Amino acid sequence: MEWLVSLAGVGLVMAALRDLFHTLWHPTRHGGLSRLVMSALWRLARHLRVRGRVVGLVGPLAMVTVVGMWAVTIILGWAIVYWPHMPGAFTFAPGSKAAQQPALLDSVYLSLVMVATLGLGDITPAAGWLRLVSPLEALVGFALLTASVAWVLQIYPALSRRRVLAIRLALLQRSDPSVHQLDCPVGATLLENLATEVARVRIDFTQYAEAYYFHDGEDHSSLAATIGYAADLAHRGRAARRSDARLTGELLAGALEDLATILDQRFLHTGGTPTEVFAAYAADHGRSLTQY
């Protein structure tokens, strides 16, 4: 029976590590529990109709919640591993009152000490297999810390790329180039660069799905508010007379279709056209595409 309880703890630890792996390092980032937590917080914010600075906290708060969930699951999992063997398989420091505490409390305390790599030494494993298992928890704790930092360092460049594209589209909307103005080598280059940036954002939504749950702020920096204008530019490019402008217009239209497919498959589930998907994307982020 003791070993069954310990195996249940191992199962909890493995579940947390699996979710961490799929969220951070799997190419398509299909995290399970983390994705559920982030989407639930996003739906809650929409249900409460929060706006302004508050909604901007949803993404960072979701990341902190997910990291906290991983940490709690790992700590509890390892505590359950220790629990059936506490206190007999452990040595307590002279004068320590830890042995007088409930076995579960001592197990959670030891798990916290090990995952934080503190190594206080008042409770140490005596059984041979525990002397091998306990340092593994310290390694997992160190891996969790570095993975969390790496996650932050990965997500914010993706957000920057998205906001740069949104601002560029907002600036283009102000000048509003006509078909005639796009029907030149400069116009073709402009459309090609936009297609490249849209493709990068599409990859970001695939590899960093959590980026979807970050609010971009004002309309001029929100991709949800400006993406519709990119579709308008693609239409103008396809109507140009020069073959290079038409080609880059097609490239931009194709990149936008791919982006709409990813948004619909992973977040919106409308089953509609790219225009309908972008409208749903704008509505989900509190924006409107009616001006396009």
Q: What's the pLDDT tens digit per position in 192-221?
A: 999 999 999 999 998 888 889 888 776 677
268: confidence class by pLDDT, cuts 50, 70, 90: very high
Compute φ and ψ for 287, nearest 5 degrees. -120, 180
**Residue 77 above 60 pLDDT?**
yes
Cβ–Cβ contacts within 10 Å for residue 157, how many?
A: 12
For position 292, what pLDDT does the model report?
Answer: 39
Q: Tens digits of per-residue pLDDT, 13-59?
A: 999 998 888 888 775 655 577 788 888 888 887 777 655 556 667 88
DSSP, collapsed to helix, strand or coil, labels residue 248 as helix
285: confidence class by pLDDT, cuts 50, 70, 90: confident
User: Of 136 and 120, which is predicted with more confidence?
Assistant: 136
112: confidence class by pLDDT, cuts 50, 70, 90: very high
Cα–Cα distance for residue pair 106/126, rounded to 1 Å: 15
* Kind and range of the H or E run holding 69: helix 58-82
Cα–Cα distance for residue pair 58/49, rounded to 1 Å: 12
> Per-residue DSSP letters for 92-106?
E-TT--GGGS-HHHH
For position 9, what pLDDT does the model report?
Answer: 92
Cβ–Cβ contacts within 10 Å for residue 259, how many?
A: 24
Q: Tens digits of per-residue pLDDT, 172-184?
A: 999 999 999 999 9
> Per-residue DSSP letters for 133-169?
HHHHHHHHHHHHHHHHHHHHHHHHHHHHHHHHHHHHH
291: confidence class by pLDDT, cuts 50, 70, 90: very low
Return the ∠ at Cα 58 (arms to 53 and 63), rounded to 5°. Answer: 135
For position 46, what pLDDT does the model report?
Answer: 72
Return the percentage of the chain with pLDDT > 90, whole number.
50
> Per-residue DSSP letters for 197-228?
HHHHHHHHHHH-GGGGGS---SGGG-HHHHHH
Longest dimension (CA), the chain: 88
**Residue 160 above 90 pLDDT?**
yes
Q: What is the pTM of this model?
A: 0.81
- The alpha carbon of 165 is separated from its chain's Cα centroid by a whole number of angstroms, namely 20
Adjacent-strand bridge partners of 203: none
DSSP, collapsed to helix, strand or coil, labels residue 123 as strand
**Residue 269 above 80 pLDDT?**
yes
